[in-house]
Structure 1
């Protein structure tokens, strides 16, 4: 994810540190008011109080994470700090119980989570270049899907051999790693699993988040290693070019000037598509509403039935929500859904092995598959492979930076956005087949 959770804070602006576009002093004054109300148990109840503490903590934790060495480079930066620092405040009883209960109610009962996911999915897919989406489905997507399939089968076999379990390795390690990050992958997946299995979302997140985080770390390290292989085997590398025919024309350059009315239209479109997904899910049960929503949005985009101004509206709304509410959402997740003790218990040498198998599997599968369709194996392995296991937009940037191939960002975005969306659909089906 870019925006609120983007790793673009390495350079301190001349006017000083800014959080949410505010000077550090201004943000500190706002935070002081909210924190005093919080710790004197005078924070307003409902949406106002929940958003106040989530946004304030999100801004602070995100900034810390994006400026902390190692954390910002390998561990997901602000996203991870938002989640685990806020979870620690609950675990160690730093945050008042009334505030924790209010945030939990806002996240789950009020439905802030669904609100965010609807904006993210609708905006990201409708905001893509249509030709990029169509061309990608011809060669790139089949390579990525084959690589993902290979990795799923491989980790299932390894999981069975080492005693973790075939279906457990696929559903609780591999699938969360390939969902496209926290907001677009792990969070909706945890909701889907919870409804299908009758398990608490907090328990599921405690297993899924370590998989996503560790997958991100290994993907970044793997990108650097694969890039080095390209220098040893020059014929395998396009030096930043994925295929023989230059793909630079696939990058989207359309202007999308901010418009307040368009933000409102985007809001309406996002909740309409979620409602449509819910309706279809009632008529055709067995596949989650998120999956039907993704199918509906992608179908609308490909056949071109949505006017361009409405597509831009959805994209603007999605960008607004991601930029301003992502860190707040992650804090809400940490407060209401993460059990730190369960997370620690989930990480083990066996768990690390399975994560390694998934990352290695997609890298090898994408490299071989890419070569068969005319891609350079190194670039294919990095984009169609490693970018399916990182943490969304920040993971894309980190992986491509580690391999010195930032020009491949359009394909990296396909791997995280489209393949991540497909993983939600696959997960919805596998929940019925395997679980």
Structure 2
């Protein structure tokens, strides 16, 4: 055995964390955590990345090595999201509490220096165009350009019926359960099912609250305060279901193991990535990563240009820039408008981001978007059952219609169902991570963005018909 083979075998047998031997990771982690709790961690992207990688990797490892959580609840993704949210909830992270009139700053922990870690993470993660958008831009561009164009053409035409199947059954189960439990059918439909299926907060609950106000049903503030717990709980349930359904439904007729469409042998061969293309993708070029970064963010900018033009023409119907980005990248793929080397570069960039920074993203979701307070306050049996019914309806409605149009039901239920009932882009990443189906991101984004726009239209119609009954 050569020296290189011996070194490779030794590294393979070594316990790895973030692709490093555990003792190197531990040394770097001690440095980062010491800087954090001494209050000298650099602010901005550098410090946030270091801290979120360390804690996210540790939480992910716990989830992946805890049997029940690993097998049935989504593994590391669940633990990273809820674990980081609990760290924030119990004030275990350095965060600025308030500044007194005399300028004195009071913290939730005794720190040696002025560090507002949670403030830094929120600035890094939450604003429009921050890390979440950067991550999703890479995933959308790389995953679509990395698809076989024949697969993309055949799948897209069948996808919207699956979305409507999920919406129809989600609403139907919510109405049935609310009638049985005496909650109020119209209230459950408009204030629980509608926001859960609306594509999250920014693109769903917030514009829905404006629709409530414009229809004179209730003020936007009151609507958002009622809908927020439903969105949060629906997101949590969707993530858990994403991890469960891939374990429960193992039959090959239902579970495509990450493949959306059912194909015969000839069609499957036609839609496979060729060995030549696989070889090109496997040869990582540092320059390609730069090309992928630039092109993915250029497509993101293009989505905003088209969104601005659309809003100028049709301001009554708002469509998220992600949706225009998906459409634009798909058009480029279907009509071969980009050279092959650019497609390869975008795919490699997507793989780099997904394999190295997913736990970082999940940390941000838990810290910045998941409110344990909101979940606890809304956690009563009736409300929980209604949220669960909505999410189950979304999954099974999309799965059944998906099977009818030629999809694998599990994959259809996850993307066209659970990625409608989660919290938009953040929820898509979490659900697909829990289900180990990250390659289905383009379809989940269709659900969150275009599906979310459909929900806003449905919401306008329902409020005009039923708003007076609330």
TM over 0.5: yes
Residues 152-161 or 79-88, more deviating = 152-161
In structure 1, which of residues 41, 50, 60 is the aligned counterpart of residue 39 of structure 2? 41
The whole-number CA distance in structure 2 between the counterparts of 1:355 and 1:87 is 21
Tell me if 1:263 matches 2:289. Answer: yes
Aligned pairs for 1:117-266 (under 5 A) are 117-138=136-157, 140-141=158-159, 144-155=162-173, 157-158=175-176, 161=179, 162-163=183-184, 164-175=187-198, 189-193=200-204, 196=207, 197=209, 207-218=230-241, 221=244, 245-246=264-265, 247-249=267-269, 250-253=271-274, 254-255=277-278, 256=281, 257-266=283-292
- Inter-CA distance 64–154: structure 2 relative to 1 (3 Å threshold): same
CA contact (8 A) 1:223 1:382 kept: yes
C-alpha displacement at 1:397, in angstroms? 9.0
Q: Offset at 1:221? A: 4.8
Match of 2:98 in 1: none
1:80 to 78, 81, 99: 78
* 34-43 or 142-151, larger mean C-alpha shift: 142-151
Equivalence for 2:307? 281
Q: 1:398 & 1:339 partners in 2: Cα distance? A: 19
1:314 aligned residue (346, 357, 361): 346
Pair 1:69 & 2:38 matched: no
The whole-number CA distance in structure 1 between the counterparts of 2:22 and 2:226 is 36
Change (3 A) 1:317 1:168: farther
Rounded to whole Å, the distance in 2 between the matches of 1:69 and 1:92 is: 25
Alignment check: 8 A CA contact 1:174 1:355 kept: no
2:394 equivalent to 1:333: no
- Following TM superposition, by how much is the alpha carbon of 1:396 offset from its aligned partner in structure 2, in angstroms? 6.6
Gaps in structure 2 of 5+ consecutive residues: 1-10, 96-115, 211-219, 312-317, 420-426, 461-470
More divergent stretch after superposition (259-268 vs 295-304):
295-304
**Equivalent position of 1:426 in the other structure:** 451
- TM-score (ref. length: structure 1): 0.76
* Contact 1:158–1:354 (CA under 8 A) maintained in structure 2: no
1:105 aligned to which of 123, 128, 131: 123
Match of 1:29 in 2: 27
1:45 Cα deviation from its structure 2 partner: 1.4
Contact 2:73 2:244 in 1 (8 A): no
Which runs of 5 or more structure 1 residues have no equivalent in the other structure? Answer: 1-12, 177-188, 231-235, 401-408
CA distance in 2, matches of 1:398, 1:32: 28
Is the 1:89–1:95 contact (alpha carbons within 8 Å) kept by the matching residues of 2? yes
Conserved in 2, the CA contact under 8 Å of 1:61 and 1:81? Answer: yes
Alignment check: 8 A CA contact 1:363 1:386 kept: no
Report the alpha carbon displacement of residue 171 of structure 1 after superposing the two structures with TM: 3.5
CA contact (8 A) 1:65 1:71 kept: yes
2:193–2:387 Cα contact (<8 Å) kept = no
CA contact (8 A) 1:87 1:340 kept: yes
